[in-house]
């Protein structure tokens, strides 16, 4: 029994289809920083870094207050700025972001005020 290889079939010729013409995207004038929220985000990060540096230097209550103030400021900004300008301050919905960040700032401020001094 000898098997012959199947005869090769010629592929059907497909008509050439030209891709649709796409207009190039319009160049929008770039603003620096791209969003005002980006600038405020850097301010909030600087407040946080300053607070951590103050904690590291020894005055933990003042450092935590500085960190809490930065978070409360971020919460206020998230409520005021429109979503397109909020930059990295916008993660989820406006209300959720503001409540979460503001609540964390308020909790830190409350704890820094109410923890009693330890002797020694």
The predicted model scores a pTM of 0.68
Q: Is residue 88 part of a domain?
A: yes
- Of 27-31, 44-48, 81-85, 87-91, which range is least confident? 27-31
Q: Is residue 27 part of a domain?
A: no
* DSSP H or E stretch at residue 42: helix 36-57
Q: Is residue 77 part of a domain?
A: yes
**Domains in the chain, number:** 1
Q: What are phi and psi of 36, to 5 degrees?
A: -65, -30
pLDDT tens for each residue of 7-66: 666 666 777 777 677 766 666 665 555 678 788 889 999 999 999 999 999 999 999 999
Q: Is residue 1 part of a domain?
A: no
pLDDT of 74 higher than 70: yes
Q: Is residue 21 part of a domain?
A: no
Average per-residue pLDDT for the chain: 84
Q: Is residue 72 part of a domain?
A: yes
> What percent of the chain stands above pLDDT 90?
48
**Residue 90 lies in domain:** 36-114
Give how far Cα 45 sits from Cα of 14, 63, 78, 96, 106, Å.
58, 14, 15, 20, 17
Asked if 36 contacts 81 with a C-beta cutoff of 8 angstroms, the reply is yes
State the average pLDDT over residues 107-115.
95
Q: Is residue 59 part of a domain?
A: yes
Q: Is residue 99 part of a domain?
A: yes
């Amino acid at each position: 029994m000898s098997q012959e290889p199947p005869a090769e079939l010629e592929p059907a010729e497909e008509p050439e289809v030209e891709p649709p013409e796409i207009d190039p995207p319009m160049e929008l004038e770039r603003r620096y920083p791209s969003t005002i929220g980006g600038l405020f985000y850097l301010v909030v990060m600087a407040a946080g870094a300053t607070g951590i540096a103050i904690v590291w230097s020894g005055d933990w209550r003042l450092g935590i207050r500085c960190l809490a103030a930065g978070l409360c400021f971020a919460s206020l900004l998230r409520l005021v700025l429109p979503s397109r300008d909020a930059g990295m301050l916008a993660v989820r919905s406006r209300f959720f972001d503001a409540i979460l960040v503001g609540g964390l700032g308020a909790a830190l401020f409350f704890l820094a005020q109410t923890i009693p001094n330890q002797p020694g």
